[in-house]
Amino acid sequence: MSRVERILVSNDDGINATGLAVLERVARKFSDDVWVIAPEAEQSGAGHSLTITKPLRVRKLADKRYAVDGTPTDCVMMAVNKLMADNKPTLILSGVNRGGNLAEDVTYSGTVSVAMEGTLAGIPSVAFSQCVDLDRSAPWETAETHAPVVLAKLLDAGWPAGVLMNVNFPAMPAAEVKGIKITAQGRREMGSSNVEERIDPRGFRYYWFGLGREIGIPGQESDLNTVQDGCISVTPLHLDLTHHATRAALCEAITCDFCK
């Protein structure tokens, strides 16, 4: 099994999340130098947001273990630029998230954003998520059993700068997982907006956003189909959002000095 010099573990479910403890145990199989720097409270849905309108507070819980009262991105920036600045991590692991991060979820996910920020810092980064059953229970044994295998394979294979890995484990017992597939990011048919209105004890209205997601658009190589079929999905994502085919077409239609 590949050894790693120094690992940072973070998440978006918060410092006390079960999945974070799972991933910390996985990380210790690969390195003797593991740091945990995670949000003080749950930050699910925070995406790649950065706190710039208030100061951040950092609470030291133990040696190499800190809670940050900010977003997942804040945690990585605090680690790389302050807490671990003298000896930066050589690998960043995020998760294990309670619930899948599939298809368009990656644009909302704080879990994936940890890996995004790590990648921007030039550090190989992997996001891990455990899909959940209909009753919302998470089979953590599945992630704990298979994450070391997946991570070892990824480290042996390597991947280019500017690319992060998004790993999703299917919602089933570890022994029933069928294998690993390298997938493309899927896409769901979005349902109607699900905004639930309620009244608080003082008579004021407040609102909850629901997911409002519909079934995924068919595609045999997508992350959605893969976890539904009982396999682990590994999706390489990159941070260049440029649509190069459209750029080339526009260069033909519009005079552009960069296209010459």
Binding site as annotated, residues: 12-13, 44, 97
For residue 118, what pLDDT is reported?
A: 97
Distance (Å, whole) CA 257 – CA 251:
9
The full set of domain ranges for the chain reads 7-187+217-259
Give the Å distances, CA to CA, from 95 to 46, 90, 175: 14, 17, 21
CA angle at residue 48 from 43 to 50, to 5 degrees?
80
- Give the residue among 146, 150, 170 at the shortest CA–CA distance from 227: 170
**CB of 169 closer than 8 Å to CB of 221:** no
Tens place of pLDDT per residue across the chain (260 aa): 678 999 999 999 999 999 999 999 999 999 999 999 999 988 787 788 888 889 999 999 999 999 999 999 999 999 999 999 999 999 999 999 999 999 988 998 999 999 999 999 999 999 999 999 877 789 999 999 999 999 999 999 999 999 999 999 999 999 999 999 999 999 877 655 578 889 989 988 988 776 555 555 655 679 999 999 999 999 999 999 899 999 888 888 887 766 66
Residue ranges for the known binding site for a divalent metal cation are: 12-13, 44, 97
Amino acid at 205: R
Reduced to 3 states, what is the DSSP secondary structure of residue 165?
Answer: strand
Tell me the two tokens of residue 86. 């003298």
C-alpha span between 96 and 146 (Å, rounded): 12
108 burial via Cβ count (<10 Å: 0-12, 13-18, 19+): middle
- Say what the pLDDT of residue 98 is: 95
Our measurement of the distance from residue 233's CA atom to the centroid of its chain's CA atoms, rounded to an integer in Å, reads 13
Maximal CA-CA distance, the chain: 64
Statement: the pTM of the whole predicted model exceeds 0.85: yes
The CA distance from 115 to 76, in Å, is 9
Predicted local distance difference test score (pLDDT) of residue 213: 55
CATH 3.40.1210.10 fits 7-187+217-259, yes or no: yes
Interior/surface letters 64-87, b for 16+ CB within 10 angstroms, e for the rest: bbbbbebbbbbbbbbbbeebbeee
Distance CA 139, CA 141 (A): 5
- Nearest CA among 152, 172, 184, 187 for reference residue 229: 172
